[in-house]
Chains A and B, each alone.
Chain A
Amino acid sequence: MTEEQVLGEISKAVAQILSDKGLPAPALTADTELLGGDLQIDSLDLAMLVREMEERIGFDPFQDGFIDFRTAGELAKLYVK
């Protein structure tokens, strides 16, 4: 998958998490900060997002421990092999 495609999957997963909470899903770009920005997701939502991405993409980049990321684009890069 390309970075752009992965970003699309992240957008969908984030939208699902927000809609489950009854919140609107704002547009997401590579520069969107996942925590601390305008998105109303907390660390457990983020945990869920990472799990959901593993299902969607088919592997877990965090297998050997947590890797730093701030933005949706930085997360997307981790899923591009």
Chain B
Amino acid sequence: MNERGLALHVNADAALVARGADRFTRGAVHARINELAAAFNARGVRRALVWSDDPVDLLRAIGAADVAGADLFIAHTNLPAAIVDEIAAQHGVQARIGETDTFVNAEAPPASGRIYMMTSGTTGKPKIAAHTLDALMSRARAGAKSAQAADSKWLLTYQPTGFAGIQVLLTAVATHGLIVAPEQRTPGGFAAAARDHGVTQISGTPTFWRAFMMVARPSELALKQITLGGEAADQATLDRLKAAFPNTRVTHIYASTEAGVVFAVHDGREGFPKAWLDEPPTGVALRIVDGLLQIKSANLMGGYLGHDAQPLLDDGWLSTADRCEIAGDRVRILGRDDSTINVGGSKVYPLMVEQFLLQQTGVVEARVFAVPNPVSGSLVGAEIVFAEDQDHAEARARVLAACRENLASYQVPRVVKIVDQINVRESGKKGAT
């Protein structure tokens, strides 16, 4: 079967999205796509932007951009409105899709049929990665082949506007499955939606699973496939899942923004088989150089907007910042070798948070670092020095409120110390003593 685009007219009566109490068939979403594509064509829209957590809005925008040949920006819903406005203006966006659709007159370059997705960047502005719908759909189909896809019902645990969320949407589209979006994106909301809709596939971060296991009753669920991604899966969490869901396949995947899903491990053990360094799974090659995992994949994305293409090594391999260790017949992933902090599967750049803190009135110095945590892997920790005239309690509350308002929830410092000074090591880098 080699369909183009989303092909939602095929099997049109099948349910595609369950959102709270609302249900949408493939045909219903198809009709909404055609409506929007007609509006794009009538107004000559070459660049559109969608900013919504609603799967129907996202599919409408993806489908209409494809039909009308327009470029689409998928703006992360955890970005502040001001940044999204700036991106829209900078790139000549002519249509904004969301709860209501709006059209503006703007100068847009010729369309290239790309989908642009956003990842957190080292500064406040996100990096924008270029993809094509064909490549995303073929990835979704390839992933679905092995995922026991018949009659699949997917719980949308990831932020819908992120790469992993879009991948779940497109996989459900490709396999004629159902996307289940809970009314409330809380552990309780996810557990209730999984139970009420008979969800069969859940893919989430290890942090998601630890929280989900605290509220879900395994006997009420009909899970066929459990997938862990976004951070390294630890043996304790894999063991707990296997014990709670003995008849469900448990898979952990290794993926990167640049290469998509690199490999999937099904044997219930953390890390991956050492034998894969010599005989890798189809489509990829793996090696360890200076303790870091390097990968080669046919599935690399099409580069960043406004940046050079992917950061490839001279011989065409992609170096990750994941530090590895060989232990017996296994390769274990120990953690990041760069300064990024992995909070429940989301990447945080300390420098970006430091810069934000330093912009706040009364803050004279700030240091941001990872604090290990049994629930979320890491949390963002911060040491802050206030100016002498500041009331510490008032300033602390004000700065943290500003963080909550302007940063994504995973970026907000959760372990905060007010200190008199921050040690500067001889290298000139801020560091713990």
Contact = CB atoms under 8 A, between A and B. Distances in A.
Interface residues of A, number: 23
A46 B343 CA distance: 13
Nearest to B375: A47
B187 interface: yes
Given A43-B375, A44-B376, A50-B373, A35 B187 contact: yes
Contact of A68 (B207, B208, B213, B371): B213
Interface string A33-71: 111110010111011101100000000101001101110
B111 interface: no
A63 to B, nearest CB: 8
A52 to B, nearest CB: 8
Interface string A1-29: 00000000000000000001100000000
B379 A43 contact: no
A21 B186 CA distance: 15
Contacts of A68: 213-214, 240
B410 to A, nearest CB: 6
Mostly helix, strand, loop or mixed at chain B's interface? helix
A26 to B, nearest CB: 15
A51 B373 contact: yes
A60 B187 contact: no
Interface in B384-425: 397, 400, 404, 409-410, 414-415
B414 A44 contact: yes
A48 B414 contact: yes
Given A44-B343, A44-B414, A62 B186 contact: no
Given A44-B409, A51-B379, A34 B373 contact: no
Among B215, B397, B404, the most chain A Cβ lie within 10 Å of the Cβ of: B215
B186 A46 contact: no
Contact of B214 (A40, A44, A62, A69): A69
A33 B187 CA distance: 11
Contact of B371 (A33, A36, A46, A51): A51
In the A-B complex, the 7 residue pairs with the closest CB atoms: A36-B215, A36-B188, A62-B374, A65-B236, A43-B211, A47-B375, A47-B376
17 contacts: A20-B404, A35-B186, A35-B211, A36-B187, A36-B188, A40-B186, A43-B211, A44-B376, A44-B379, A46-B211, A50-B374, A51-B371, A51-B415, A65-B234, A65-B236, A66-B374, A70-B214
Given A20-B404, A50-B373, A50-B374, 11 more contacts: A35-B186, A42-B409, A43-B208, A43-B210, A43-B344, A44-B410, A48-B379, A48-B415, A65-B234, A68-B213, A70-B214
Interface of B: 186-188, 191, 207-208, 210-211, 213-215, 234, 236-237, 240, 343-344, 371, 373-376, 379, 397, 400, 404, 409-410, 414-415
